[in-house]
């Protein structure tokens, strides 16, 4: 019998308990020994809950119980999760987490502490909800030199953009509806400004290079400025608009960014709609591979946490491979990276725009008073200079 | 230093050598110890090849060398691969294979021998080429009860169908072109009749249920009867035609089949074109997840073999979890499984068809002299009875 504690009985935490109960047979077979939930840490009481007798308000009870071998940290946030996780690992208890903020901020330190104490810090649920992506990166693509990761890593923004595209509705309207449905938080900033996706691409990129890519260094732009007019242009040229989180390695140099992109129908991420997420990984031998599934939600995320519990259960006292050093990677600024841009200018600037950008592909979207086009490939710096000179309505990058 | 032997210096075998050489740094880091190719077994000599001095014609040299810990079996076929693999495993050498025929036929026996001898029989490359799918099933989806797998598992047929759709070309023409390009074999039967996909879905389904699904028991239908007219109908109703390999669990009963299906634009497999393959897995907590990438080709397949080598290198003397018992699963015949069908009848049978099938969705494809429609959901048995009574031109299942 392997004793487990769940820290945080919110959405994901209660999902973890539900998954362990519902799929007991499969999970115990794969763990090699039955999994038992001994404690659930939460500030609240849950009278009438079938697990009410497991609730404790005192973290010391868990940390001091030598029977507890695995902890699911589903509290979120840095405080007190960081302190609890650190102390658990120092006492040789493995920790499985869905807490992307903690992983993006203290990942390498916590992994190191785990390995020094012959236990593990696993975080499959921190990126892509239920999509297996951390394990494929760490265990499957081991013969590859990975040079590019491109993902749709946030369910809320993908739901909003998909809905804007499908219904022709405006951003504010769709956001409001998403909030009513519980797909977006009342304060949606972390999602719509791209901060959530930024932390997730920081984690994936760090695993790609084996060092630390600080999320604070990643250029991040949200979706709040995307309009129905942008989608009209996208439709007119057979594309759609997605919030992409990407990182690239070129000649040993790295860059990463989160921003809305126009992508075409032939792009594997084109069909990723609604609350689904996906990650494209490019390796030098395999080329592109893609991992797709539900990027959030109680049970998918909990399933990922429990898959980590199974892995820890099979490796009690043993270290599971994970290469993520504390050494920081210096990121190249995106100024020198190149791409095409979709640009909107007032109709009276049509000639000037063609003069400034030289080669443009005009998009016939019948938007009154405007001229919309896609530029040739150029660096962000070049683009900014030209666009600044010209005075544009807006621009979206093209992938 | 971990000594490795490669058995079979054909396309995949030479790819394995190339991957190990090119990504030496990454692979050795992940293996924990440098990987060295000590022998390459082949009947032929390779004068001038940089690895010519490693070539041996004598399998005994490899099997009797106690330094060799890992063998890559990239010969294909049952003989002599089965005998060589068995003897290698009996002497405690792990075997990594791309040989789907051997895995589908003797998988559970060879896994058992491996585990009894504290070594491993790994086969990531046997399904989906470079797409990580075996490892996600075995190590990632461990908290799930998997009840459905649906895949595009053969690159040749997907290339042919994609090309027929895109260019409006006929089957024979596209097959000929695929043969010229090396995407199809001179004798294409194993691919176009669905036998290759059948072996692959047998392997995935066996891992899904932990028992043996015999490929001989799986209903298999190829793509040789698909015509440009079928694609005209598919286009007219916003669908495409794909060769799907699928297996389902319903109330503890299993069925599996390989056949062409019409699928709609909203299906995650719709956008899988050309030589790309993909596998959709449905779990009871996670819902759908999908794994996408190059389903064949020298380097992608070799990369998967080498990822198994890395796994074996990290587990010398230890057994890696794999649940696949020799016990056979009794498959439900597909007769009692239900779905909709796309049907073509001569125009003069329009009224009779509507009478026999009651509810039909007519497809307006302007095919002279024909009436095409999609039926309501019914069992295969019911459909066959009605279609037999009516006399139809052809039918394709709808997913």
Q: At CA B362, angle to CA B340 and CA B376, rounded to 5?
A: 25
Closest CB from A270, A302, A310 relative to B142: A310
| Cα–Cα nearest to B337, from B276, B257, B261, B394 | B257
Range A31-42 average pLDDT: 97
Position A267 scores a pLDDT of 92
Residues of B in contact with A19 (CB under 8 A): 143, 285
Residues of B in contact with A303 (CB under 8 A): 141, 143-144, 283, 285-286
Range A184-207 average pLDDT: 97
Which residue is catalytic, options B100, B163, B200, B211? Answer: B200
What tokens appear for A311 in the block? 């892995």
Beta bridge partners of B39: B5
Position B296 scores a pLDDT of 85
Position B327 scores a pLDDT of 97
pLDDT at A91 over 90: yes
Position A229 scores a pLDDT of 97
Position A317 scores a pLDDT of 96
Closest CB from B19, B144, B289 relative to A131: B289
Contact check, Cβ <8 Å, A286/B294: yes
Contact check, Cβ <8 Å, B141/A132: yes
Range A348-359 average pLDDT: 96
Position B295 scores a pLDDT of 87
Closest CB from B27, B304, B323 relative to A29: B323
Task: Tell me, yes or no, if A142 comes closer than 8 A to chain B by beta carbon.
Answer: yes
Contact check, Cβ <8 Å, A26/B302: no
| DSSP character string of A67-124 | TEEEEEE---SSTTHHHHHHHHHHTT-EEEE--HHHHHHHHHHHHHHHHHTT--EE-G
Residues of B in contact with A11 (CB under 8 A): none
Decide: residue A368, CB within 10 A, 0-12 exposed, 13-18 middle, 19+ buried. exposed
DSSP state of A393: S
Distance CA(B344)–CA(B353), nearest Å, equals 10
Task: Tell me, yes or no, if B302 comes closer than 8 A to chain A by beta carbon.
Answer: yes
The pLDDT tens digits of the residues spanning A215-232 come to 999 999 999 999 999 999
| Cα–Cα nearest to B98, from B244, B214, B199 | B199
Question: Residue A144 in 3-state DSSP?
Answer: coil
Contact check, Cβ <8 Å, B292/A292: yes
Residues of A in contact with B321 (CB under 8 A): 30, 314
Distance CA(B251)–CA(A191), nearest Å, equals 40
Position B183 scores a pLDDT of 87
Beta bridge partners of B278: B152, B292
DSSP state of A128: S
The pLDDT tens digits of the residues spanning B310-339 come to 999 999 999 999 999 999 999 999 999 999
Q: Which residue of chain B has the CA closest to A265?
A: B271
Position A258 scores a pLDDT of 98
pLDDT cut 90: percent of chain B above it: 96
What tokens appear for B149 in the block? 């797998």
* Distance of residue A154 Cα from the nearest chain B Cα, in angstroms: 16
* Distance of residue B243 Cα from the nearest chain A Cα, in angstroms: 19
Range B194-205 average pLDDT: 98
Contact check, Cβ <8 Å, B292/A135: no
Position A377 scores a pLDDT of 97
Return residues 203-232 of B near A (CB < 8 Å).
210
Position A295 scores a pLDDT of 87
B339 and B374 Cβ atoms separated by less than 8 Å: no
Query: What phi and psi values does residue B4 have, to the nearest 5 degrees?
Result: -125, 145
Contact check, Cβ <8 Å, A309/B145: no
Number of residue pairs across A and B with CB atoms under 8 Å? 173
Distance CA(B303)–CA(A285), nearest Å, equals 6
pLDDT at A20 over 90: yes
Distance CA(B352)–CA(A259), nearest Å, equals 57
Strands (E), chain B: 2-7, 35-41, 55-56, 68-73, 94-97, 121-122, 146-152, 219-220, 239-250, 253-264, 276-283, 287-294, 338-346, 360-362, 370-375, 378-379, 394-398
Mean of all residue pLDDT scores within chain B = 96
Return residues 231-290 of A near B (CB < 8 Å).
268, 270-271, 278, 283-290
pLDDT cut 70: percent of chain B above it: 100
Distance CA(B135)–CA(A138), nearest Å, equals 11
Q: pLDDT band at A363, cuts 50/70/90?
A: very high
The pLDDT tens digits of the residues spanning B98-114 come to 999 999 999 999 999 99
Position A129 scores a pLDDT of 87
Buried b (16+ CB within 10 A) or exposed e, B59-95: beebbebeebbbbbbbbbeeeebbebbbbbbeeebbb
Range B269-275 average pLDDT: 93
The pLDDT tens digits of the residues spanning A234-288 come to 999 999 999 999 999 998 899 999 999 999 998 999 999 998 999 999 999 999 9
ipTM above threshold 0.90: yes
Q: Which residue of chain A has the CA closest to B290?
A: A292
The pLDDT tens digits of the residues spanning A287-307 come to 999 999 998 899 999 999 999
Distance CA(B338)–CA(A379), nearest Å, equals 55
Position B228 scores a pLDDT of 96
Residues of A in contact with B294 (CB under 8 A): 286-289
Task: Name, in order, each residue with C-beta under 8 angstroms of A398's C-beta and a sequence gap of 6 or more.
Answer: A239, A261, A262, A263, A339, A340, A341, A342, A374
Contact check, Cβ <8 Å, A140/B130: no
Residues of A in contact with B284 (CB under 8 A): 22-23
Lowest-confidence segment of A127-131, A207-211, B132-136, B285-289 by average pLDDT:
A127-131
The pLDDT tens digits of the residues spanning B77-95 come to 999 999 999 999 999 999 9
Candidates A142, A268, A274, A302: best to mutate against B (most CBs of B within 10 A) is: A142
Position B129 scores a pLDDT of 87
Distance CA(B33)–CA(B28), nearest Å, equals 6
Q: Which residue of chain A has the CA closest to B32?
A: A321
Lowest-confidence segment of A265-269, B40-44, B156-160 by average pLDDT:
A265-269
Distance CA(B359)–CA(A328), nearest Å, equals 64
Contact check, Cβ <8 Å, A285/B303: yes
Distance CA(B4)–CA(A143), nearest Å, equals 15
Q: What pTM did the predictor assign?
A: 0.96
The pLDDT tens digits of the residues spanning B214-267 come to 999 999 999 999 999 999 999 999 999 999 999 999 988 999 999 999 999 989
pLDDT cut 90: percent of chain A above it: 96
Lowest-confidence segment of A49-53, A102-106, B182-186 by average pLDDT:
B182-186
Contact check, Cβ <8 Å, A143/B304: yes
Position A374 scores a pLDDT of 98
Distance CA(B75)–CA(A14), nearest Å, equals 49
Closest CB from B288, B300, B310 relative to A286: B300
Q: pLDDT band at B121, cuts 50/70/90?
A: very high
Question: Residue A138 in 3-state DSSP?
Answer: helix
A397 and A262 Cβ atoms separated by less than 8 Å: yes
Cα torsion through B257, B263, B267, B273, rounded to 10: 90
pLDDT at A110 over 90: yes
B286 and A307 Cβ atoms separated by less than 8 Å: no
Contact check, Cβ <8 Å, B141/A124: no
B86 and B110 Cβ atoms separated by less than 8 Å: yes
Task: Tell me, yes or no, if B2 comes closer than 8 A to chain A by beta carbon.
Answer: no
Candidates A140, A300, A319: best to mutate against B (most CBs of B within 10 A) is: A140
Domains of chain B as residue ranges with CATH: 2-129+298-314 (3.40.50.720), 134-294 (3.30.360.10), 337-398 (3.30.70.1150)
Mean of all residue pLDDT scores within chain A = 96
Beta bridge partners of A176: none
Position B130 scores a pLDDT of 85
Position A183 scores a pLDDT of 87
Task: Tell me, yes or no, if A112 comes closer than 8 A to chain B by beta carbon.
Answer: no
Residues of A in contact with B140 (CB under 8 A): 124, 132, 135-136, 307
């Amino acid at each position: 019998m392997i004793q487990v504690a769940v820290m945080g009985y919110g959405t994901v935490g209660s999902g973890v308990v539900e998954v362990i109960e519902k799929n007991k047979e499969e999970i115990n077979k794969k763990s090699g020994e039955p999994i038992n939930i001994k404690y659930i840490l939460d500030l609240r009481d849950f009278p009438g809950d079938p697990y009410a007798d497991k609730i404790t308000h005192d973290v010391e009870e868990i940390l001091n119980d030598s029977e507890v071998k695995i902890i699911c940290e589903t509290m979120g946030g840095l405080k007190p999760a960081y302190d609890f996780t650190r102390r658990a690992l120092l006492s040789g208890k493995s920790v499985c987490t869905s807490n992307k903020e903690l992983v993006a901020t203290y990942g390498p330190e916590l992994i190191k502490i785990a390995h020094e104490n012959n236990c593990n810090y696993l975080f499959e649920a921190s990126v892509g909800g239920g999509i297996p992506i951390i394990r494929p990166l760490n265990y499957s693509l081991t013969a590859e030199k990975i040079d590019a990761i491109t993902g749709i890593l946030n369910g809320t923004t993908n739901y909003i953009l998909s809905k804007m595209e499908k219904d022709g509705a405006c951003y504010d309207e769709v956001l409001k509806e998403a909030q009513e449905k519980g797909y977006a938080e009342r304060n949606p900033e972390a999602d719509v400004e791209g901060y959530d996706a930024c932390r997730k691409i920081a984690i994936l990129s760090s695993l790609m290079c084996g060092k630390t890519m600080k999320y604070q260094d990643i250029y991040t732009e949200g979706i709040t400025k995307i309009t129905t007019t942008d989608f009209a242009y996208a439709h007119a040229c057979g594309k759609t608009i997605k919030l992409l989180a990407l990182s690239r390695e070129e000649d040993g140099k790295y860059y990463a960014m989160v921003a809305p992109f126009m992508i075409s129908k032939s792009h594997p991420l084109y069909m990723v709609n609604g609350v689904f997420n996906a990650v494209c990984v490019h390796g030098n031998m395999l080329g592109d591979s893609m991992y797709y599934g539900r990027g959030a939600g109680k049970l998918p995320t909990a399933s990922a946490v429990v898959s980590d519990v199974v892995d820890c259960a099979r490796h009690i006292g043993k270290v599971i491979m994970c290469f993520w050093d504390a050494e920081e990677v210096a990121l190249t600024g995106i100024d020198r990276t190149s791409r095409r841009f979709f640009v909107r200018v007032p109709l009276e600037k049509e000639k000037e725009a063609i003069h400034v950008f030289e080669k443009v592909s005009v998009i016939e979207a019948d938007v009154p008073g405007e001229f919309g086009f896609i530029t040739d490939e150029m660096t962000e710096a070049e683009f900014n200079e030209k666009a600044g000179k010209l005075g544009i309505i807006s621009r979206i990058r093209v992938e």
